[in-house]
Chain A
Amino acid sequence: KAGVTQTPRYLIKTRGQQVTLSCSPISGHRSVSWYQQTPGQGLQFLFEYFSETQRNKGNFPGRFSGRQFSNSRSEMNVSTLELGDSALYLCASSLARTAQETQYFGPGTRLLVL
């Protein structure tokens, strides 16, 4: 089976712009979670989607949003980018919604905001 894929792998934006990141889960996985990884804050949970619905949300401002499509692919969007949004954004997919099911991570999208 193909693993979790994320596109693009690298992205450079300027402050005030918006960005959309994409995540394709492992075939058959219906849950997609997003994490932000920075040197200062570490790995922080952004949100989780399951069956096209946001099921859980982390402590991030409303500029961070996402969605999931019927084929379980997910996108996350960040509007009005700030310098502090520079990070590695990871998505993870799993079969179900509980930690009982292993989450598989993608390679991440490295976002640099100038």
Chain B
Amino acid sequence: AQTVTQSQPEMSVQEAETVTLSCTYDTSESNYYLFWYKQPPSRQMILVIRQEAYKQQNATENRFSVNFQKAAKSFSLKISDSQLGDTAMYFCASGGATNKLIFGTGTLLAVQP
């Protein structure tokens, strides 16, 4: 069975600081993808960043970067220079040969002014 685990239900960070959200996964797919989605209080899910498992280089998108440790099945998200607009629920997800995504339980991130 494919699983995604987020062990931090809530986190808080000061504005302009850096925060890291943790995620571990397990999948039977040989070619898979990992994602971090953001769900602000308005509820629209937005893709933050994606990682293709066959790529060794960690993905980065502006202030967002990941630490992908394939052997450890770990996929953490680092948010640098946190902004108030980063306040949201963050979901880690895995996908593979189909469009079925397996989501973790989410981490509620609060950015404090």
Q: Which residues of A contact B (CB under 8 A)?
A: 31, 33, 35, 42-45, 48, 50, 55-56, 58, 88, 90, 92, 94, 97-108
- The docked-state distance in angstroms from the alpha carbon of A42 to that of B90 is 12
In the assembled complex, B105 has its CB within 8 A of some CB on chain A: yes
- The docked-state distance in angstroms from the alpha carbon of A98 to that of B29 is 12
Q: Contact: B95 with A99, CB < 8 Å?
A: yes
Q: Is the interface of A mostly helix, strand, loop or mixed?
A: strand
- Option from B32, B35, B100 in Cβ contact (under 8 Å) with A56: B100
Interface residues on B, range: 20 to 34
- Option from A33, A102, A104 in Cβ contact (under 8 Å) with B100: A33
12 A–B contact pairs at CB < 8 A? A35-B101, A48-B98, A48-B99, A56-B100, A97-B98, A99-B32, A100-B33, A103-B47, A105-B44, A105-B46, A107-B44, A108-B43
Nearest A residue to B94 by beta-carbon distance? A99
- The docked-state distance in angstroms from the alpha carbon of A45 to that of B100 is 7
- Option from B35, B45, B99 in Cβ contact (under 8 Å) with A97: B99
Q: Contact: A102 with B91, CB < 8 Å?
A: no
Q: Contact: B50 with A43, CB < 8 Å?
A: no
In the assembled complex, B36 has its CB within 8 A of some CB on chain A: no
- Option from A35, A56, A107 in Cβ contact (under 8 Å) with B98: A56
- The docked-state distance in angstroms from the alpha carbon of A13 to that of B37 is 30
Residue among A43, A55, A98, A103 with the highest chain B CB neighbour number at 10 A: A43
Q: Contact: A107 with B42, CB < 8 Å?
A: yes
- The docked-state distance in angstroms from the alpha carbon of A103 to that of B52 is 14
Q: Contact: A90 with B45, CB < 8 Å?
A: yes
Q: Contact: A42 with B105, CB < 8 Å?
A: yes
- Known contacts A42-B106, A43-B91, A90-B45; A103/B101 CB under 8 A: yes
- Option from A44, A48, A58, A98 in Cβ contact (under 8 Å) with B96: A98
A43-B101, A100-B33, A100-B52 known; 6 other A-B pairs, CB under 8 Å?
A45-B101, A56-B99, A98-B98, A99-B94, A99-B97, A108-B43
